Structure 1
């Protein structure tokens, strides 16, 4: 038995050791190529555009859209009559939209949404949008942008004739707005934009009170205001919420114009309650403007808000002159 054990041990010791596979010969796992920032950007913008398209489809078939459109139609009809628009232009501008004008989702690329036919009409309305918000991440801002796009289509305002600005817009959101075809402003105007005689709709939901005050100051004349429509925070609501002395001191142009405008509130529905609350359509009848005292029009001092607390707008960054010495 000992001899057999010795033979087995000798046999075990004589066995050649296994050769380890060279590390160089091991099959390597192929590493996934890192995504470029440009590819990620395109993917993200496609997701945002898809969400906008979905929100637009939901808004278009909602009771809120039809009711809000009726409210806007009532104001714009009077506004255009005031501008002595040619006969037939109202029907041209407010043509009927049909649900089948929205293409089927399967026919739409992931990075696109329905585009309107660019019909300028005879009134050549412009549109300016301030404070659209971070629509890439905020559903409220996304629905407000969706409403703007449908409004442009309904009024047959080319998207290139709509100027948009929000000081907090991300680079992704700016790229999406460019893709949608609107004109993105590069400078913070603080609402100080003159319409230069061109009939203009200002779309500025949930914006700071100073922004409306600046806009009025920039167009402080009967001729300019009579060519403007403002869709935004209710001026009546501002009058009710603010103390009279605060309103007249900090926002004098809003205080002075309250008797020279007409306002229609947006309808309220449970689905869009938080999105379009406290929103009204404002327009300025010539008859009311002309009844205001001449002293009101002579006051044209630029607002500065030096003593205004809780200013709800982002100011332009101005360079401190002392820093350059």
Structure 2
């Protein structure tokens, strides 16, 4: 096994200069050109190397000041979000009361990996996690760090977690009555708008947590008429949510800039004008410029177990 690993490393090191020399003699492949134009992009690599780089990204992230602060931010928001879902009495209330995120001891940070079975809390509530927007982590360092954050977050969840769902659904996924965390770093505004539309009710939104682009930032950057015309659900929900921004450090500025945790308190949702919920028109974006969204295909969503 050690000999094979050494041979693989030697092969990768020997192949790199040949690619650099030949790049000037022939046109770049479409994928390579896209990677070259993406911050943090790297050449495509084989599967084993990708896994090693993801692990390295996790190890770098878990010992950073950013990770501990960001974990605290997510944990605090998720706790508050779940408190509102507690039933007055009964098994569901007890189960939700056990769900929490917690940072591992300092010594565990030096060796990131799966959470030992004895640290899992028995009888915890299951919640879903849906991931949109993480790019090509084989060739992009930024995407790899975003994926590493999600993997670490799930490892630190002392709860029962359904498989992570990914797929080209244009964000139109219903929570189906289950508490769901949507991990959507640097997604297009239409994706957030679609997600809100699909869950446009007090009951559904009260079960949604979104880790993604700051909604307040969207409000500041977009013209008011554009926001209300093309992204009406984002515009209407701005006064019905709680938003906590991610910490910012130089090391992960490009990875998590403008990222926040959003959740929707029932009290705020019920205080919105009653006609807010009457508007149910599905977004179409027919005349929307600079639309950042991948249209849905017939492919079914995949699960990462």
What TM-score range do you get, normalising by the shorter chain? 0.7 to 0.9
Question: What is residue 113 of structure 2 aligned with on the other side?
Answer: 114
Runs of at least 5 residues in structure 1 that lack an aligned partner in the other structure: 1-42, 105-112, 166-187, 319-325
Relative to the length of structure 2, the TM-score reads 0.75
Find the partner of 1:131 among 130, 133, 138.
133
Task: Give yes or no for contact 1:117–1:156 (8 Å, CA) kept in 2.
Answer: no
Find the partner of 2:233 among 230, 253, 277.
253
Distance 1:260 1:143, change over 3 A: same
Question: What is residue 63 of structure 2 aligned with on the other side?
Answer: 61
- 1:203-259 per-position Cα deviation (integer Å, ceiling 9, x unaligned): 000001000000000000000000110000000000000011100000000000001
Q: Is 1:222 equivalent to 2:229 in the alignment? A: no
Task: Give yes or no for contact 1:128–1:201 (8 Å, CA) kept in 2.
Answer: yes
RMSD: 2.2
Question: What is residue 272 of structure 1 aligned with on the other side?
Answer: 252
SS in 2 for 1:231: strand
Question: What is residue 291 of structure 1 aligned with on the other side?
Answer: 271
> CA separation in 2, counterparts of 1:309 and 1:300?
22
Find the partner of 1:79 among 78, 81, 98.
81
Task: Give yes or no for contact 1:234–1:279 (8 Å, CA) kept in 2.
Answer: yes
> CA separation in 1, counterparts of 2:160 and 2:48?
22
Question: What is residue 310 of structure 1 aligned with on the other side?
Answer: 290
> CA separation in 2, counterparts of 1:304 and 1:89?
37
Task: Give yes or no for contact 2:181–2:209 (8 Å, CA) kept in 1.
Answer: yes
Distance 1:82 1:92, change over 3 A: closer
Relative to the length of structure 1, the TM-score reads 0.71
SS in 2 for 1:206: coil
Runs of at least 5 residues in structure 2 that lack an aligned partner in the other structure: 1-44, 87-91, 299-305
Distance 1:92 1:194, change over 3 A: closer
**Which has the larger Rg?**
1
Distance 1:256 1:265, change over 3 A: same
SS in 1 for 2:255: coil
Question: What is residue 24 of structure 2 aligned with on the other side?
Answer: none
> CA separation in 2, counterparts of 1:129 and 1:86?
27
Task: Give yes or no for contact 2:138–2:144 (8 Å, CA) kept in 1.
Answer: yes
- 1:16-74 per-position Cα deviation (integer Å, ceiling 9, x unaligned): xxxxxxxxxxxxxxxxxxxxxxxxxxx92111111111110111111000111111122
Q: Which has the higher contact order (CA 8 A, sep 6+)?
A: 2
